[in-house]
Structure 1
Amino acid sequence: MSALLSVSDVHVAYGKVEAVRSVSLDVSENEIVTIIGANGAGKTTLLNAIMGILPLKGHVTFAGENVVALEIEDRVAAGLSLVTEHRELFGTMSVEDNLQLGAFRIAKAVAAKSFERVYTLFPRLKERRKQLAGTLSGGEQQMLAMGRALMGAPRLLMLDEPSLGLAPIIVADIFRTIGELRSAGVSVLLVEQNAQAALQIADRAYVMELGEFILNGQAKVIATNERVAASYLGFQHG
């Protein structure tokens, strides 16, 4: 089966400094793939390049189409979406209006179904739909950022550090929802410093260091790797 997202030999540079080198990965339909690594490893840079925010050298195909030359809006229209770690909400607009912005490219009938889907995944957003986004808690803002991305009915949702700065109980809610997305037919590419939580929910994992993948495979296998355990999971094996 061909991959939904295929990234091949990608390089991303800031001026003369190469932040991502010779990176290749793929994400299949109904799959959660995570990229783990330390701060500054190049994880966010890679997601931004896939989304078209940063220029890259290499190949990126999505649903069989070469998307390297596409504008960000066209990648969104094709079914590729990114939730950045900064969330980028409109704080002076209501929850409902923020969600509506995520549906600007789709038909009203589809948008109505998207609202229903988002409110089912995030009941708290429905309760606060008239509330200003800027007055929400950090966890609620993360839910809103994810919900807004889902309004466009993406086939692949890329998430950059969704647990950042959130209380453990909220992190558990966010990761449970990510699992529900896979069941609903949305593939996920997850960048996450909380490696333990990411490896528990993912099907496959890539470990990134200094702009390169040093390891990849089934998430359960990666979680038992001694180097990964010592560096990212906070304990040593046996």
Structure 2
Amino acid sequence: MSALIAIEQLSVAYGRVEAVTDVSLTVAPGEIVTVIGANGAGKSTLLNAAMGLLPARGRVTFDGRDLIGVEAEDRVGLGLCLVAEKRELFGAMTVEDNLRLGGFRVTREAAAESLIEVFQRFPRLEERRGQLAGTLSGGERQMLAMGRALMARPRLLMLDEPSLGLAPKIVADIFRIITDLRAAGVAILLVEQNARAALNAADRAYVMELGRISLDGPAAELARDPRIVESYLGLGRTETG
């Protein structure tokens, strides 16, 4: 299957320090691909560069279109969305208003349909539609950030550490929603420090170390790889459940 997004030899530097070096990866339509690695490995930088938020060398194509030079806002219009690690919600605005902002690139009719779909997927957001985003719990804020991105009807959703700081039950809910999105036809590029949950959910995985891809392959195989077990899943634990 041809790639929906293809990142080729991407490099990103902060001044003289190179955070990402010659990284290449692909995500096919309807696929969940995860990038795992230690904190500081360059995973978030990779997503921000793919979104056009950071200058980069290399090539990014989306559905065959070269994205280098395309502004982040226009990438959203093409069907590429990023849910950032910090979620970047408008705390003084209501849940519903935050969601409606996410649909600014689609027609009014499409935005209305998307809002219904988001509320169906996240019933808790509908319950709190008039509540200020800044008063939500951590899990609710993550749901709102994902819902706002879904308002733009993305074909590929990039998620940066969606489980960060959340209770185990909420993490399980978030990953269930991620797999549900794949079933609905949304491809997912997932950056995640919770390697066990990420590998359980993903079709394929890349391991990033010191700004480079050190290993890649089917997620189920990497979950059994002794190097991954030792470094990310815990010594002596080869199961992925």
Task: Give the TM bin, normalised by the shorter chain.
Answer: over 0.9
Deviations 1:115-141 (A, max 9, x none): 111111111001100000000000000
SS state at 1:12 partner: strand
User: Structure 2 CA distance, aligned partners of 1:127 and 1:237?
Assistant: 40
**Deviation digits for residues 58-81 of structure 1, max 9, x if unmatched?**
010001100011001000000000
Identity across matched positions, percent = 65
5+ residue gaps, structure 2 = none
Secondary structure of residue in 2 paired with 1:131: coil
Aligned to 1:202: 202
Match of 1:141 in 2: 141
1:19 pairs with 2:52: no
**After superposition, where does 1:89-104 map in structure 2 within 5 Å?**
89-104=89-104
Cα distance per residue 1:189-217 (max 9 Å; x no partner) = 00000000000000000000000011000
Aligned partner of residue 75 in structure 2, secondary structure: helix
How many aligned residue pairs are there? 238
**How does 1:80-95 map onto structure 2 within 5 Å?**
80-95=80-95
Relative to the length of structure 2, the TM-score reads 0.97
CA drift at 1:144: 0.1
Matches within 5 A, 1:180-191: 180-191=180-191
Equivalence for 1:52 = 52
1:174 aligned to 2:164?
no
Residue 106 of structure 1 and its aligned partner are, at CA, apart by 0.6
Query: Is the 8 Å Cα contact of residues 207 and 213 (structure 1) preserved in structure 2?
Result: yes
Instruction: Encode CA deviations 1:145-165: one digit per residue, 9 max, x unaligned.
Output: 000000000000000000000
The one-letter amino acid paired with 2:6 is: S
Q: Distance in 2 between matches of 1:237 and 1:157?
A: 30
User: 1:236: Cα distance to partner?
Assistant: 2.7
- How many angstroms apart in 2 are the aligned matches of 1:48 and 1:164? 17
For 2:133, give the aligned amino acid. A
Equivalent residue, structure 2, for 1:117? 117
Letter of the 1:150 counterpart: L
Structure 1 pair 237–103 and aligned structure 2 pair: CA distance change class (3 A): closer
Structure 1 gap segments, 5+ residues each: none
1:186 corresponds to which letter in structure 2? V
- Preserved CA contact (<8 Å) 1:161 1:192: yes
Counterpart of 1:6, as a letter, is: A
Alignment partner of 1:171: what SS? helix
User: 1:235: how far off?
Assistant: 2.3
What is the alpha-carbon distance in structure 1 between the residues aligned to residue 63 and residue 179 of structure 2?
22
| CA distance in 2: counterparts of 1:117 and 1:237, whole angstroms | 39
- State the TM-score, normalized to the length of structure 1: 0.99
Query: CA RMSD of the aligned region, Å?
Result: 0.8
Q: 1 CA distance for matches of 2:234 and 2:140?
A: 28
Cα deviation, residue 237, structure 1:
5.5
Matched residue, 2:66: 66
Q: How does 1:32-43 map to 2 (within 5 A)?
A: 32-43=32-43
